[in-house]
Amino acid sequence: MTEGLRLTLTALPGIPLIQDGSDLVSITWEGLARASISLRDGDVLVFAQKIVSKAEGRRVALSQVTPSPRAMALASYADKDPRFVEVVLRESREVLRVRPGLLVVEHRLGFVCANAGVDRSNVGPHGDEEWVLLLPEDPDGSCERLRSAIQATIGARVGVIINDSHGRAWRNGTVGVAVGVAGLPAVQDMRGHPDLFDYTLQITQIGAADELAAAASLLMGQADEGTPVIHARGFPYPLREGRLPELLRPREFDAFR
Amino acid sequence: MTEGLRLTLTALPGIPLIQDGSDLVSITWEGLARASISLRDGDVLVFAQKIVSKAEGRRVALSQVTPSPRAMALASYADKDPRFVEVVLRESREVLRVRPGLLVVEHRLGFVCANAGVDRSNVGPHGDEEWVLLLPEDPDGSCERLRSAIQATIGARVGVIINDSHGRAWRNGTVGVAVGVAGLPAVQDMRGHPDLFDYTLQITQIGAADELAAAASLLMGQADEGTPVIHARGFPYPLREGRLPELLRPREFDAFR
């Protein structure tokens, strides 16, 4: 048997519901043990944004939010809850598009997405109160802390991604993308690699962390929180320091704002 | 051992260079045999657009192309070969953006991408002549033919995707996306699925074929043609008839054109 290049993603079983203060590192150990996976150098762990945000206490009670006049105006046009829009604006640098049912912004971290990634579904049972969930304060930092804790515990040099589901400008359906990265190339630069026939490649950069985030997202699903941690073995590029900003197009090169 | 939900992608080894008229079905059989993979119902095969285009003879010699005045004007502004731009325009419905080094169009099949997917790299050695490669004439049809031939030969009900690497409006790096689909949901509709806490999901559609296309792209790399066929086991949604148009946002819902 000639084994081909292989990428294996495993949804860690038995991850419990995550709450404010949950220890994601120990929860990950337990999930890896349940799946009989021993971490190796070069493995990557992908965490759903939702559980990182919950563990970091990024819930906001809408009852505590007073919408600004701007939030009220946008909410009226977008047909959304003004308190929700207020939270979105606080998480945003700029509003790019607003249409009925649609609010696309540049998140304060620099990426473009709907609702600044603020999420209403699956935030958890809290009586009658309505809660929303923000992205982690500093997702790259969250990844780095997870990566360091893992390396300190067992010595394996792994990569860590936090992913979320984003819509696209011209395609239906959400796909997983990286919103935080540590320890792997977010973008793999292929510039200067000649192809098989020595024609220098036109496509020069691969969104490697986004491709792995999308693969992990397939296994996470959307309808529940049952599989929010994915182990990946076989990421084909050498690990290195890597950060989310590699994936963010500078404003001056943005042709679609 | 409690095995978690698992997705395994294998780059089929030993796929030869593909030429006009190559039989992708028998090449796939041989690659599967080399990897000791027996196809099962529910498996998905992902083919790089480049090899499908080559097998279908979609090469164009630039020496045979006479650029129109419009192509010459666009080429001058975009800083591209006028003959290349002429080929791009013939493959396009509409030019969305042109900047130095950038030409974003709506492809005649309905998706938005740079250069209408027309590729200059890795087209093959043909002396001094310059060639470019167009997308398959009908990628969904190409997928369907591959799917049917596989099912007729061994009876396994599989899905087939043709993928390509596309840039994104606001993110650096290309990611794999589906440009042709047969036998699997291109978009998985989650509308009406309540989440764990019975809050009806806001995110309602998952770009499942694009997520798998991205995962496969990670294994294909870009710099050569060595691994252009990927076998995937563990696609988490039930197979059904599915088509590329599911993934294409109707123009009237496009906020970024």
What digits encode the pLDDT tens for the residues B103-141?
Answer: 999 999 999 999 999 998 656 555 557 899 999 999 999
User: What gap in Å lies between CA B238 and CA B159, rounded to an integer?
Assistant: 10
> Is B220 within 8 Å of chain A by CB?
no
Question: How many CB pairs below 8 A link A and B?
Answer: 286
Count of positions (residues) in chain B: 257
Tell me what pLDDT residue B124 has.
59
Do the chains contact at B171 and A102, CB–CB below 8 Å? Answer: no
Is the pLDDT at B203 greater than 60? The verdict is no
Tell me what pLDDT residue B2 has.
43
Residue of B nearest to A8 (CA): B8
pTM comes to: 0.94
> Is B187 within 8 Å of chain A by CB?
yes
**CB-CB neighbors (< 8 A) of A197 in chain B:** 122-125
A191 vs A79, residue with greater confidence = A79
Percent of chain B scored above 90 by pLDDT? Answer: 79
B213-233: per-residue pLDDT in tens? Answer: 999 999 997 545 679 999 999
A87-96: per-residue pLDDT in tens? Answer: 999 999 999 9
Predicted confidence band of residue B250 (pLDDT cuts 50, 70, 90): confident
Q: Which residues of A163-188 are buried (b: 16+ CB within 10 A; e: fewer)?
A: bbbbbbbbbbbbbbbbbbbbbbbbbb
A144-158, A210-224, B11-25, B165-179: least confident range: A210-224
ipTM over 0.95: no
Angle between helices A24-34 and A139-154 (to 10 degrees): 60
> Is B242 within 8 Å of chain A by CB?
no
Tell me what pLDDT residue B120 has.
82
With residue B164 as reference, give the H or E element that holds it: strand B159-166
> Is A46 within 8 Å of chain B by CB?
no
Tell me what pLDDT residue A192 has.
63
* Closest listed residue to residue A33, CA positions, set A229, A214, A235: A229
Tell me what pLDDT residue A128 has.
57
Say if CB A86 and CB A118 are below 8 A apart.
Answer: no
Do the chains contact at A202 and B121, CB–CB below 8 Å? Answer: yes
Do the chains contact at A14 and B36, CB–CB below 8 Å? Answer: no
Say if CB A226 and CB B144 are below 8 A apart.
Answer: no
> Is A235 within 8 Å of chain B by CB?
yes
Of B97, B174, B221, the CB nearest to A255: B97
Is the pLDDT at A81 greater than 50? The verdict is yes
Instruction: Report the pLDDT averaged over residues A80-90.
Output: 97
Give the list of residues 6+ apart from residue A250 with CB closer than 8 angstroms, or none: none
Coil, strand or helix: which one is B246? helix
- Sign of the C-alpha dihedral, residues B131, B133, B137, B141? positive
State how far the alpha carbon of B203 is from the alpha carbons of A163, B95, B199, in Å. 15, 30, 11
CA distance A45 to chain B (A): 14
Is the pLDDT at A172 greater than 50? The verdict is yes
B131-189: per-residue pLDDT in tens? Answer: 999 999 999 999 999 999 999 988 899 999 999 999 999 999 999 999 999 999 999 98
Percent of chain A scored above 90 by pLDDT? Answer: 79
A200 vs B251, residue with greater confidence = B251
> Is B103 within 8 Å of chain A by CB?
no
> How many C-beta atoms surround the C-beta of residue A252 within 10 A?
5
Instruction: Report the pLDDT averaged over residues B192-217.
Output: 77
Instruction: Report the pLDDT averaged over residues B71-98.
Output: 96
Predicted confidence band of residue A202 (pLDDT cuts 50, 70, 90): low
A130 vs A210, residue with greater confidence = A210
> Is A154 within 8 Å of chain B by CB?
no
Q: In order of start, what are the domains of chain B with their CATH numbers?
A: 8-56+136-245 (3.30.1330.100), 59-132 (3.90.1660.10)
Q: What DSSP line would sit under A24-55, residue for residue?
A: HHHHHHHHHHHTT----TT-EEEEEHHHHHHH
Q: What is the mean pLDDT of chain A?
A: 90
Tell me what pLDDT residue B1 has.
38
> Is B38 within 8 Å of chain A by CB?
no
Q: What is the mean pLDDT of chain B?
A: 90
A141 vs A204, residue with greater confidence = A141
Do the chains contact at A196 and B13, CB–CB below 8 Å? Answer: no
Do the chains contact at A195 and B104, CB–CB below 8 Å? Answer: no
